[in-house]
Amino acid sequence: MRRGGNLGATRLRRRWRPDDPMRVYDTLPPELRAWIAHAALPWSPTSCLKLWRRALREEGCAERARARLDRAEAACLARDRLDAKENGRPKDARFRM
Q: Is residue 48 one of the residues assigned to a domain?
A: yes
Q: Is residue 14 one of the residues assigned to a domain?
A: no
Overall domain count for the chain: 1
Percentage of the chain exceeding pLDDT 70: 65
What residue numbers bound the domain in which 28 lies? 19-95
Single-letter amino acid code for the residue at 21:
P
For 10-34, the pLDDT digits (tens) are 565 666 656 777 888 999 999 999 9
Q: Is the pLDDT of residue 65 over 60?
A: yes
- pTM for the model stands at 0.64
- Give long-range contacts, CB 8 A cutoff, 24+ apart: 30-34: 31/62, 31/65, 31/66
Q: Is residue 5 one of the residues assigned to a domain?
A: no
- Give the DSSP letter of residue 20: -
Q: Is residue 32 one of the residues assigned to a domain?
A: yes
Q: Is residue 31 one of the residues assigned to a domain?
A: yes
Q: Is residue 73 one of the residues assigned to a domain?
A: yes
pLDDT of residue 80: 76
Single-letter amino acid code for the residue at 54:
R
Q: Is residue 23 one of the residues assigned to a domain?
A: yes
How far apart (Å, rounded) are the C-alpha atoms in residues 80 and 21? Answer: 23
